[in-house]
């Protein structure tokens, strides 16, 4: 499989909420899965060429201080050339940190991307000091498009895929997912142990011109994303996991 974008989606869509330096947007969601009901608070912003996502998950009836998971993810904007030799933008992963409580024990994982050597370095801890793992994995395809799992829709937005797919009413975006939260997210959702998954982001159509639906497919999994007219997330459904995340009211 050729993990480059199909030709029509290699255009920049002018995403002001992401590319304007110093901008910041907050979102709140309701989340439900097999373990219970939660609140999700996220902050997205940019500073110079850096784009970040901060997210906290906490039980529905509690406060943010009682979080069960929190993450910080940073990518940077860079220019690349399309097959037509045009300069376009993409989000390139930089680093990700994830903390999660599992059965009363706090676990920490960190991913750092070495853009020169085309590889990702991971380290994970249990508690405050006990190291669980530390390893380095090379990118399987040096010319591929890479994106953190939690930023996949932002990646599609910046590179122009979302806008072009809606305009053409068809579209498929090939990429590689870096699983921020690895290895704990893999264990939580019974995924294979891989850190990097080949994936496809597919446009499925619109609902009365008000919501646009995309499907993320990887390793036999399907996640549905509903976006509003400004390309903001309204609803996410991870079919096999019984997970539903919906914009707060």
Query: Is the pLDDT confidence value at 51 over 50?
Result: yes
Sign of the dihedral through C-alpha 166, 169, 174, 179: positive
pLDDT at 198: 97
Query: Is the pLDDT confidence value at 172 over 90?
Result: yes
Q: What is the mean pLDDT of the chain?
A: 87
Beta-bridge partner residues of 69: 57, 100
**What residues does each domain of the chain span?**
7-247
Of 71-85, 171-185, 204-218, the least confident = 71-85
Q: CA angle 121-198-153, nearest 5°?
A: 90
Residues contacting residue 106 through CB under 8 Å, at least 6 positions apart = 99, 100, 126, 127, 128
Q: Which residue has the higher pLDDT, 21 or 28?
A: 28
SS3 85: coil
pLDDT in tens, 121-157: 999 999 877 888 899 999 999 888 999 999 999 999 9
**pTM (predicted TM-score):** 0.88
Sign of the dihedral through C-alpha 102, 242, 66, 133: positive
Which DSSP category does 65 fall into? G
Query: Is the pLDDT confidence value at 75 over 60?
Result: yes
Q: What is the mean pLDDT of residues 219-229?
A: 96
Q: What is the mean pLDDT of residues 85-89?
A: 77
């Amino acid at each position: 499989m050729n993990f480059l974008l199909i030709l029509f989606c290699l255009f920049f869509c002018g995403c002001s909420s992401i590319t304007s330096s110093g901008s910041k947007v907050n979102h709140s969601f309701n989340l439900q899965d097999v373990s219970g009901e939660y609140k999700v608070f996220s902050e997205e912003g940019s500073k110079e060429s850096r784009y970040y996502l901060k997210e906290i998950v906490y039980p529905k009836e509690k406060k943010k201080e009682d979080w069960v998971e929190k993450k910080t993810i940073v990518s940077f904007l860079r220019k690349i050339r399309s097959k037509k030799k045009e300069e376009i933008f993409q989000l390139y992963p930089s680093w990700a940190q994830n903390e999660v409580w599992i059965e009363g024990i706090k676990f920490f994982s960190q991913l750092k991307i070495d853009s020169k050597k085309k590889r990702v370095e991971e380290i994970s801890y249990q508690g405050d000091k006990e190291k669980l793992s530390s390893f380095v994995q090379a990118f399987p395809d040096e010319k591929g498009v890479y994106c953190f799992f939690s930023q996949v829709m932002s990646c599609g937005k910046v590179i122009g895929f979302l806008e072009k797919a809606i305009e053409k009413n068809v579209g498929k975006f090939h990429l590689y997912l870096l699983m921020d939260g690895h290895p704990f997210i893999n264990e939580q959702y019974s995924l294979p142990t891989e850190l990097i998954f080949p994936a496809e982001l597919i446009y499925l159509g619109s609902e009365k011109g008000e919501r646009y639906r995309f499907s993320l497919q990887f390793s036999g999994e399907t996640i549905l994303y509903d976006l509003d007219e400004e390309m903001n997330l309204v609803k996410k459904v991870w079919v096999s996991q019984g997970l539903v995340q919906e914009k707060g009211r």
